[in-house]
């Protein structure tokens, strides 16, 4: 079986002496830092080794992000060591059937209705939305100091509270220089006690969304990340293992389908969630399922694969273990996964997302495959 993002932290905890199996067989070390570069796809590196020679030379294996290949899901899978069928953060956005009816929930921003809607942290507490213990909490319970090298806002975000859960020392970091400083603050200490740090850098993803994943702008960010990695490795002590990975890759959208303009697709539909590469479709009434499935399949025959919730779960799209009823209810009655480089946009309801050039979420290698890069 291929390794996944969910295998990284079980392997880290095993290297610190836990009883959990460590599929990646990491060598023990005093400290470990996992740096997640948002949008760092393995296929992107494979096509541009000249731009990222340091990262490319230190790839130890290739992982799959898991479905859907999107940040909220991937970060949760990383922190919890489990796919989204287990942890329940099943996409960029999905419907919550128990919030006074049915309401769209944006998991990345932890907001209702849209990425800029009402703050959902009080009405949908992160700690109950995702109640599983994180592997960072397991490390802390074993006496490993937990640190975060992330933009300051993330430490209080709903997604961090839901999935990472463990308290820890914050090293605010919004730039590559700040990420380097934070990682070295974690790694360069005289004590014998172990430390674990989660570090994050978002700019490759945000630039890829705006201009395309292989645009001059995005490749310039990749070049900067590689130079940062080369510099960091020169200062990193041997007592610290640095692991670098991504949460997903990205495709350049070549064909746009405007769902808002196709009125036939909205008959018997209560809500459309997800993102442009993976849509969750929720019905007004269960009896409409067959008609809506046939309608969406015919309308999007050249652009997407449309299946029922039951088929997606039977085929283990969200992970090998069946979800519990609460998580299963979050999945759309139907799912539409864009094919090729198609995107299923909603410019009236999602103007910012619909204007993006780069997208991710679906099954292509460009979206699914991420590298695991090691300092050792």
Contact assessment for residue 84 and residue 77, using Cβ atoms and an 8 Å cutoff:
yes
pTM listed for this prediction: 0.96
pLDDT value at residue 24:
94
With 60 as the cut, is the pLDDT of residue 99 above it?
A: no
pLDDT value at residue 20:
74
242 and 294 housed in the same domain: no
42 and 167 housed in the same domain: yes
Per the domain annotation, does 96 fall within a domain?
no
DSSP H helical segments within the chain, as ranges? Answer: 8-15, 42-47, 53-57, 71-80, 84-87, 126-129, 135-141, 158-163, 176-187, 203-211, 216-235, 289-299, 309-314, 325-330, 351-354, 365-368
Contact assessment for residue 80 and residue 70, using Cβ atoms and an 8 Å cutoff:
no
160 and 79 housed in the same domain: yes
Residues 6+ apart with CB under 8 A from 216: none
pLDDT value at residue 264:
92
pLDDT digits (tens, 9 = 90+) for 246-286: 999 999 999 999 999 999 999 999 999 999 999 999 999 98
The pLDDT mean for the chain works out to 96
Residue 199: domain span: 5-89+130-250+364-374
31 and 54 housed in the same domain: yes
- Mean pLDDT score, 331-359: 97
Domain count, the chain: 2
Residue 50 banded pLDDT, cuts 50, 70, 90:
very high
Contact assessment for residue 55 and residue 229, using Cβ atoms and an 8 Å cutoff:
yes
pLDDT value at residue 98:
65
């Amino acid at each position: 079986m291929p390794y996944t993002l969910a295998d990284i932290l079980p392997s880290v905890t095993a290297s610190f002496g836990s009883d959990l199996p460590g599929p990646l067989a990491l060598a023990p070390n005093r400290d470990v830092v996992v740096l997640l570069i948002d949008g760092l796809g393995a296929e992107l590196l494979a096509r541009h080794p000249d731009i990222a020679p340091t990262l490319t030379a230190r790839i130890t294996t290739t992982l799959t992000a898991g479905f859907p290949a999107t940040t909220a899901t991937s970060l949760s899978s990383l922190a919890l060591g489990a796919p989204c069928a287990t942890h329940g953060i099943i996409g960029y956005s999905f419907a919550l059937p128990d919030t006074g009816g049915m309401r769209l929930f944006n998991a990345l921003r932890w907001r209702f209705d849209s990425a800029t809607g009402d703050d959902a942290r009080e009405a949908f507490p992160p700690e109950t939305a995702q109640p599983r213990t994180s592997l960072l909490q397991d490390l802390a319970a074993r006496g490993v100091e937990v640190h975060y090298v992330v933009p300051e806002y993330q430490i209080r975000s709903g997604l961090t509270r839901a999935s990472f859960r463990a308290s820890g020392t914050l090293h605010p970091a919004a730039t590559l220089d700040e990420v380097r400083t934070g990682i070295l603050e974690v790694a360069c200490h005289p004590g014998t006690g172990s430390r674990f740090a989660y570090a994050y850098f978002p700019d490759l993803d945000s630039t890829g969304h705006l201009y395309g994943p292989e645009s001059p702008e995005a490749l310039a960010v990749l070049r900067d990340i590689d130079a940062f990695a080369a510099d960091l490795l020169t200062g990193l002590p041997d007592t610290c293992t640095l692991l670098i990975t991504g949460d997903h890759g990205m495709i350049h959208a070549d064909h746009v389908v405007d769902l808002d303009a196709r009125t036939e697709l909205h008959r018997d539909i209560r809500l459309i969630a997800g993102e442009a590469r993976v849509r969750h479709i929720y019905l007004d009434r269960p009896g409409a399922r067959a008609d809506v499935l046939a309608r969406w399949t015919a309308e999007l025959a050249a652009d997407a694969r449309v299946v029922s919730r039951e088929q997606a779960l039977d085929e283990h799209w969200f992970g090998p273990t069946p979800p519990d009823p609460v998580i299963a209810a979050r999945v759309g009655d139907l799912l539409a996964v864009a094919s090729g480089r198609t995107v299923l946009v909603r410019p009236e309801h999602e103007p910012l997302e619909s204007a993006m050039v780069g997208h991710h979420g679906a099954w292509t290698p460009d979206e699914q495959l991420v590298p695991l890069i090691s300092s050792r």
